[in-house]
């Protein structure tokens, strides 16, 4: 039997507070029009003081499990993608396992910045295809607002908080067609977030905030995502016209539009959540996927290309027959 990983449930969670561009323009020198024109973002959600990556992950995960109708005890592996874990350890995966009350599974985190959920999908797919696992829960959960310097106008306008989840199950029916993940550690300086407690002799890196050379990141992201699209199509001997939906990482509308153009896709075939969510890092692709499944845009049998790019640099894609 050929084993595929099939998505049997999706979920998502966004915190209550909406922080608009207008709001940010009262604290740093920027404007709603500058932010919207350069990024496509109008507002983002901000987690409350009581919330953590694991608390948001729990809500998204419970939704995905409920949709699937399966018993949580059937889950073999929990993978949480996050760059903003509750604790250094235990992993947010273990904290989520505790919250869900699942005894017999293994749980761990994946840290690949904004590409985290694609890396998690790729790992899960290997376990399922090999027969080592039957059900894998994947959650991307991020509280970016706590690692953003709210006095830095070049980064604080971009990020938001939220969690997205998918539950994968082994199936004879087609599901994930292929995944492709990459990294290149040479680009540390363009996008990084220091860990002040662990950095050796960290003088200039005291604050644990996102540091980014946005313009340079932008150029590498556009080129790299163009290449991953080609790699994914080639690996599946597929023509771009066979893709029904593009579900991209939500970093900047201009990066998304460049990838859509490469695929000769109309923006109507691209799932965009950026305007009201900003960049939720590893949560963004799963949040967008969940939204488009729930509102009926993505239908069973359709071919969906997921892609992401993030610090590291890391990048990847997953081609799915939903």
Ligand X SMILES: CC(C)(COP(=O)(O)OP(=O)(O)OC[C@H]1O[C@@H](n2cnc3c(N)ncnc32)[C@H](O)[C@@H]1OP(=O)(O)O)[C@@H](O)C(=O)NCCC(=O)NCCS
Binding site for ligand X (CB under 6 A): 30, 34-35, 38-39, 114, 153-154, 157, 212, 214-215, 217-218, 221, 251-252, 279, 309-310
Least spacing, CB of residue 312 vs ligand X, in Å = 10
Residue number with CB closer to ligand X (132 or 267): 267
The residue at minimum Cβ distance from ligand X is 214
Per-residue burial over 226-243, b if 16 or more Cβ lie within 10 Å, else e, is eebbeebbeeeebeeeeb
Beta-ladder partners of 176: 320
Q: For residue 152, which of 196, 215, 212 has the smallest C-alpha distance? A: 212
Residue closer to ligand X, measured from CB, 18 or 220: 220
| Contacts for 180 with CB less than 8 Å, ≥ 6 apart | 122, 228, 231, 232, 235, 316, 317, 318
Q: Tell which residue, 126, 317, 297, 168, has the closest CA to residue 240.
A: 317
Cβ-based nearer residue to ligand X, 61 or 311: 311
Catalytic status, residue 279:
yes
> Minimum distance from CB of 181 to ligand X (Å)?
15
CB of 279 to ligand X, least distance (A): 6
139 vs 157, beta carbon nearer ligand X: 157
H runs (alpha helix) in the chain: 21-24, 32-39, 53-68, 92-100, 116-130, 214-235, 253-262, 274-277, 284-294
Catalytic member of 114, 144, 156, 193: 114
What is the full DSSP assignment across 65-86? HHHHT--GGG--EEEEE-SS-S
Would you give the DSSP letter of residue 138? E
Select 7 or 35, whichever has its Cβ closest to ligand X: 35
Residue 163 · residue 57 · CB < 8 Å: yes
- For residue 249, indicate whether it is catalytic: yes
Residues whose CB falls within 8 Å of the CB of residue 20, separated by 6 or more in sequence, listed in order: 32, 42, 43
Q: Which residue has the tokens 């729930």?
A: 294
Q: Which two tokens stand for residue 123?
A: 């790992």
CB of 180 to ligand X, least distance (A): 17
Q: In terms of CB distance, is 183 or 236 closer to ligand X?
A: 183
Exposure letters 150-181 (e unless 16+ CB within 10 A, then b): eeebebbbbbbbbbbbbbbbbbeeebbbbbbb
Closest CB 313 distance from ligand X, rounded Å? 9
The least distance separating ligand X from the CB of residue 113, rounded to whole angstroms, comes to 7
DSSP structural state of residue 27: T
> Active site residue: 70, 156, 249, 252, which one?
249
The verdict on whether 114 is a catalytic residue reads yes
Report, as residue numbers or ranges, the catalytic residues.
Answer: 114, 249, 279
């Amino acid at each position: 039997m050929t084993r595929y990983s099939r998505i049997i449930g999706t979920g998502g969670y966004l915190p209550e507070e909406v922080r608009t561009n207008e709001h940010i323009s009262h604290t740093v020198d920027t404007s709603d029009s500058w932010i919207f024109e350069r990024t496509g973002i109008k507002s983002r959600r901000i987690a409350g003081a009581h919330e953590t990556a694991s608390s948001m992950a729990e809500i998204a995960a419970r939704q995905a499990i409920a949709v699937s109708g399966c018993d949580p005890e059937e889950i073999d592996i929990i993978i949480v993608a996050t760059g903003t874990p509750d604790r250094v350890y235990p992993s947010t995966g273990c904290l989520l396992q505790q919250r869900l009350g699942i005894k017999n599974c293994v749980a761990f985190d994946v840290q690949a910045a904004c590409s985290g959920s694609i890396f998690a999908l790729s790992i899960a797919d290997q376990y399922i295809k090999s027969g080592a696992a039957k059900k894998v829960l994947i959650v991307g959960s991020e509280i970016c607002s706590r690692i953003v310097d709210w006095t830095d106008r070049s980064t604080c306008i971009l990020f938001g908080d939220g969690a997205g989840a998918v539950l994968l199950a082994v199936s004879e029916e087609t599901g994930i067609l292929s995944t492709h993940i990459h990294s290149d550690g040479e680009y540390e300086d363009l996008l990084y977030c220091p860990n002040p407690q662990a950095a050796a002799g960290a003088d200039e890196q005291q604050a644990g905030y996102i540091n980014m050379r946005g313009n340079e990141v932008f150029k590498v992201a556009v080129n790299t995502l163009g290449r991953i699209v080609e790699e994914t199509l080639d690996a599946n001997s597929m023509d771009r016209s066979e893709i029904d939906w593009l579900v991209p990482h939500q970093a900047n509308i201009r990066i998304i539009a460049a990838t859509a153009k490469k695929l000769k896709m109309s923006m109507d075939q691209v799932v965009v959540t950026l305007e009201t969510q900003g960049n939720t890092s590893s949560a963004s692709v799963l949040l967008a996927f969940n939204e488009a499944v729930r509102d009926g845009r993505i239908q069973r049998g359709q071919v969906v290309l997921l892609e992401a790019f993030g610090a590291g640099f890391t990048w990847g894609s997953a081609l799915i027959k939903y």
